[in-house]
Amino acid sequence: MSIKRGEIIEVAIRDLASTGNGVARLPDGMTVFVEGALPGSRVKASVQRVKKRYAEALAAEVVERSPVEVKPECPHFPECGGCLLQHMDPAEQLAWKTRRVSDALERIGGLEDVPALTPIGSPDVWRYRNKMEFVYDSIDGQPVAGLRRRLDASVMPVPECRICTEKTAAILRRANELGPSLGRIAYNPKTGKGYLRRLVIRHHGTTSGEGELMVHLITATARDHSAAEKLGRALQADFPEITSFVHSTRKSRRDLAFGERIQQVIGQDSVEERLHLPDAEVRYRISPNAFFQPNSAAAELLYGAVRQAADPGPDDTVMDLYCGTGGLALALADKAKKVLGFELSKDSVRDAVRNAEINGFSNCEFHAGTLEHGLGQVKGVPDPDIIVTDPPRSGMHETVVRGILDMLPRRVVAVSCDPATLARDLGRLSHAYAVESVQAVDQFPHTTHVEAVAVLRRK
């Protein structure tokens, strides 16, 4: 059966790909990835692209609904590209994500029969994000901050976003109402012209109370930044609970929500998060560019699982690779003799040092620098008894894996936000370590993203 671009075909959806697209197979064996289709459904799909072994299509009509389909709550679904699985039952989302982790370990890492612990679901499936990154674009001649559309990546307004807190959504709406009065246009990364680039809103501390709010405006470089200050003053007047307004500039055309140079701060220069862990509470001060887990309630469960898996004793040295603002390191500091953290970002390391101080931990030591040149770059660092690692989506650099194999701690707890790179890294360590367990963690309901915690024991 040969198909052509633009053709409408009727297919049965058997599974979901890692991208969240439905998977169907034609009689001739060709695989068709159908965007917007769920397992167990039968759809008519519009073919968008045909390759030698697979095709890509869009669901045009649902002939038979999936038993796992639910009514989406967000009015911006499915146009917005932020949440691809809002029409799938949250329990089924968690089950699919758990299978993704196990399948990756077997298929990519060559690791069979790894015990899978009960997956950890997010305590909240709506209003769970503590950080939202909105991008500015020109809509009807006015600057508007929003999210990108699923199909063409253009920016769309999202005034009723359901995954951020209600206060975040309210601040976004007000910022867009104020946009025309700023007298500045949205930045165009293709031309390098324009001013307003990103609006990042953090709402931390909600698990302990009302929390603290930071608004981080990222703009292009300019001689006059009065528009940025005007926005900050106006938002704080309307929302007194905004404890921090930060304006930073970014010269690079690369479209990232990362300010290269801070221009002004109104109020505090950071916000605080408190995580309640088993037998401990840890405080974190978070600066504008620093990474922190975007789902605070789920992060408490994730850090609790790592705390239980690492289980350091009073004579143990723990090494936290890719430590960020000290997240996992500080979650283990009260139980260990010494904790060492490594992180590329100098800003994050400064936050980690400050976080150790505000928690009263004197046994923590943090180092800034890349890990790609190996773990032996800092002199006098003792070999660890336990290593915890939470790398970016690309996984651990090969030299980091070699460093772990050189030091051979008795236990490694590997946290990952990508099942494929986790499986690759565990496969690299498998001749020296046995994988005792793996546990899926869903920090991002309605998206395809899944975290995992793998516990390794030295053979």
pLDDT tens digits, residue range 253-271?
999 999 999 999 999 999 9
SS3 396: coil
137-162 residue pLDDT tens:
999 999 999 999 998 999 999 999 99
267-288 residue pLDDT tens:
999 999 999 999 999 999 999 9
Give the ranges where 136-203 is alpha helix by DSSP (H).
Answer: 166-178
431-450 residue pLDDT tens:
999 999 999 999 999 999 99
- Residue of 319, 324, 369 whose CA lies nearest to 348: 324
Rounded Cα distance between 106 and 278, Å, is 32
Domain with CATH 3.40.50.150 in the chain: 98-123+295-458
Residue 61 CB-density burial (10 A; 0-12 exposed, 13-18 middle, 19+ buried): exposed
The maximal CA–CA distance of the chain, rounded, in angstroms, is: 68
Rounded Cα distance between 383 and 4, Å, is 59
**Of the CATH numbers 3.30.360.10, 3.60.10.10, 2.40.50.1070, 3.40.50.2300, which one belongs to the domain with range 131-272?**
2.40.50.1070
Mean pLDDT taken over the chain:
94
Residue 206 binned pLDDT confidence (cut-offs 50, 70, 90): confident
pTM (predicted TM-score): 0.93
The pLDDT, as a whole number, for residue 151 is 87
417 tagged catalytic: yes
Residue 376 binned pLDDT confidence (cut-offs 50, 70, 90): low
Domain with CATH 2.40.50.1070 in the chain: 131-272
The pLDDT, as a whole number, for residue 390 is 95
Type of residue at 329: A
Domain with CATH 2.40.50.140 in the chain: 8-64
Statement: residue 244 has pLDDT above 80: yes
179-195 residue pLDDT tens:
999 999 999 999 999 99
The pLDDT, as a whole number, for residue 306 is 97
The mean pLDDT value for 371-392 works out to 79
Tokens of 333: 């500091």
Cα 400 to Cα 126, 338, 375, 406, distances in angstroms: 36, 20, 7, 10
Instruction: Exactly one of 80, 323, 364, 417 is catalytic; name it.
Output: 417
Kind plus residue range of the DSSP H or E element containing 97: helix 90-107
SS3 120: strand
**Of the CATH numbers 1.20.120.80, 3.40.50.2000, 2.40.50.140, 3.10.20.90, which one belongs to the domain with range 8-64?**
2.40.50.140
The mean pLDDT value for 400-429 works out to 95
Helix-strand-coil split of the chain, %, nearest 5: 25, 35, 45
Fold type of domain 98-123+295-458: Rossmann fold (3.40.50)
